[in-house]
Chains A and B, each alone.
Chain A
Amino acid sequence: MDSNTEAPGKLSRMFLTLYDVFQFISRFFKEGFLPPYEGKELMKQCYDIGYKSLALISLTGFITGVVFTKQSRPSLAEFGATSWLPSLVGIALLRTLAPLLTSLIAAGKVGSSIGAELGSMRVTEQIDAMEVSATNPFKFLVTTRVLAATITIPILTFYTAMVGMLGALLNVSTSEGTSAKAFFQSALESITFLDITASTVKAILFGFTIGMVGCYQGYNSSKGTEGVGKAANSAVVVGMFLIFIEEVVSVQFFGLFRT
C-alpha cells in the first residue's frame, strides 16, 4: 500500500479532527456575521432552546436554592453566622451554581437535541437537499443554533440564579423568619460587578460550547441511525467535559481580578 494512502494513525486522526473543528468554528464566524441573516430561524431556535427549557431550569434552580441553603446552615450555625446565609447563597448561585447548572442541563437537553436533529438530517440527506436547493445549510442550521444557544444560556443563567434565590428565600424565611426585603438586601449587597461580568462571560462561553459541540457532532454525523445516536451522545459528553474545563479556567482567570 502506498504510504500516502495508509489509514491515519491515532495521533494523526486527533490532529485531523482538531483541524476539522477549527475549520467548523472559523466557518461559523465567517457565515454568522455575513449577510444574509437568518433572523426568523434564529428567533425560532431561541424559543426552542430558551423558552422550552424554562420548566426544567425553574424546577432545578428552585430545588438547588432550597437544598444548598439547607445544607449550608449547620456549618454556618456552628459559628453563629446563619445571618450570612443570604450572602453565601447569592454569591454561590451567581458565581458558579447558576452558570454551571444551567449549562449542564442545557448540554443534556439542548446539546443532545441539536446533535440528534442535525445527525438525522444528515443521514436522511435533508442537509444535502437544502444544499442542492441553493440554500446554505451551514448558515441556516448551524449559525442559528449556535447563536441561539449563545444568546439564551446567559439569560437562562440569570433566571436560574433568581429562581434559586427564591428557593433559598423560602427556606430562610421558614427557618429564620427573615423577610424577603432583608434577604435580598443581604444577598445582593455581597454581589459585585465582577461577579456579574464573570457569570455573563462564562454563560456566553458555555452557550457557545453547547451549540457548537451539538452542531459539529450532528452536522458531521455518518453511519446511519447508529451515527445519529453517537452524535447525540457525543454532544452531551463532549459538551459537559468542555464546560467543566472552561469553568476551571475561568475561575482561575477571574480569580486574578479578585485580589
Chain B
Amino acid sequence: MKEKAKTISTEKVIEIKGLVKAFGNYEVLKGVDLDLYKGENLVVLGKSGTGKSVLIKIIVGLLTPDQGEVKVLNQIIDKISYKELLLLRLKVGFSFQNSALYDSMTIRENLEFPLVRNQKHLSKEEVSIAVEEMLDAVGLSQTINQMPSELSGGQRKRIGIARTLILRPEIMLYDEPTAGLDPITCFEINNLINEVQERFHTSSIIITHDLTCAKAVGNRVAMLLGGKFEHKGTFEEVFNTTDDRVQPFYDYNFIQ
C-alpha cells in the first residue's frame, strides 16, 4: 500500500468562506467554510445529494456560488475574467466521476488534447513523450491506441487521472474516484491517489462516500452534513464522535 504524505504545509491553496449554493428553492450548501493546505489530501465525505460534487464544481468554476467567497491559489473564482479562469484551470485538475473521456478519440488523443492546446511550444515528439510517460505513471501504457469504450471502469478512471495530470496541476479534485469499482481496483486507485500526491506534489480534495478510500488517502477528513461541514479532522477524530448522523456512515461501510 502506497503511504499518504505525512508532512503538510500551512500554506492555504483553497480558502472557502460562507459558501452558499441553491438550486431553485433547494439550498444544497448552507454557508460552507473549508481550507485546503498545500500538499494535503483532504477527503470530503457525505451522503449522496449533499452537495459534495457541487462544491468542487464551484472550486473549478463550472458552477457559480450564490453567496460566499471561494479563493483558489489566491484568486477569487467568481471575480476573475474567463481568460484568467482558463489560466487558473491549468493549475487545477479535475477527475470526473465517470472519467469523461472523449469517446471519439483514442487514449493517446485524449491525453494529447489538453497538452497541444495549452502548451503550444511543445514539439510533436515532446508531446508524445509526455503522453507515454503519463500513461506509464498510471500503469496503462498498453492502452495508448485503444478507444475509451474498450477499457474497463478502473482503466478509464486511471486514464481520466492521467489526462488531468498531464498539465501538471498544483491542485487535484477527485469526484468519487472509487465509485462503481471492485475492491481491488479501489485499492489500486487509492494507491494511485497517494502516488500522485507524493510524485507530483499536488494538494487534493477527494469527494467520496467510500470510507476505505477516505482512510487510505486522506490526511484530513471533512464531513458534509445538512449543507455544512460539521466535523473536520483526521479520520479517527471525525469518527470518534457521538453524532448519530456520522456513526451510521461508519457502521454501514465497515460493519455491514
Chain B: CB-nearest residue to A2: B25
Residues on A with beta carbons closer than 8 Å to the beta carbon of B103: 120, 124, 126
A134 within 8 A of B: yes
Q: Quick check: B98 and A136 within 8 Å, CB to CB? A: no
Residues of chain B from 165 to 197 with CB closer than 8 A to chain A in the complex: 167
Question: A190 at the A/B interface (Cβ < 8 Å)?
Answer: no
Task: Report A110-158 residues with CB < 8 Å from chain B CB.
Answer: 117, 120-121, 124-126, 128-136
**How far in angstroms is the closest Cβ of chain A from B200?**
16
Q: Give chain A's interface secondary structure class.
A: helix
Q: Which residues of A contact B163 (CB under 8 A)?
A: 129, 133
Give bound CA distance, A132 to B169, whole Å.
11
The CA-CA distance from A5 to B93 in the complex, in Å, is 35
B113 touches A135 (CB 8 A): yes
Q: How far is the CB of B132 from chain A (nearest CB, A)?
A: 19
B41–chain A nearest beta-carbon distance, Å: 19
B139 at the interface (CB under 8 A from A): no
As a 0/1 sequence over residues 1 to 17 of chain A, the CB contacts with chain B under 8 angstroms (1 = contact) are 10001000000000000
Task: State which residues 94-124 of B face A: CB under 8 Å.
Answer: 94, 96-98, 100-104, 113-114, 117-118
Residue on A with the closest CB to B85? Answer: A134
Verify if B60 is at the interface (C-beta below 8 Å from A): yes
Of A1, A5, A120, A132, the contact of B62 (CB 8 Å cutoff): A132
**Nearest-Cβ distance from residue A159 to partner chain B, whole angstroms:** 27
Given contacts A125-B100, A126-B102, contact A131 B87 (CB under 8 A): no
Shortest Cβ distance from residue B113 to the other chain A in the assembled complex, whole angstroms: 7
Least CB distance, B94 to chain A, in whole angstroms: 4
Which 6 A-B pairs give the minimum distances between C-beta atoms? A129-B100, A133-B114, A125-B100, A132-B94, A134-B89, A134-B86
B residues at A contact (CB < 8 Å): 24-25, 57, 60, 62, 86-87, 89-90, 92-94, 96-98, 100-104, 113-114, 117-118, 163-164, 167
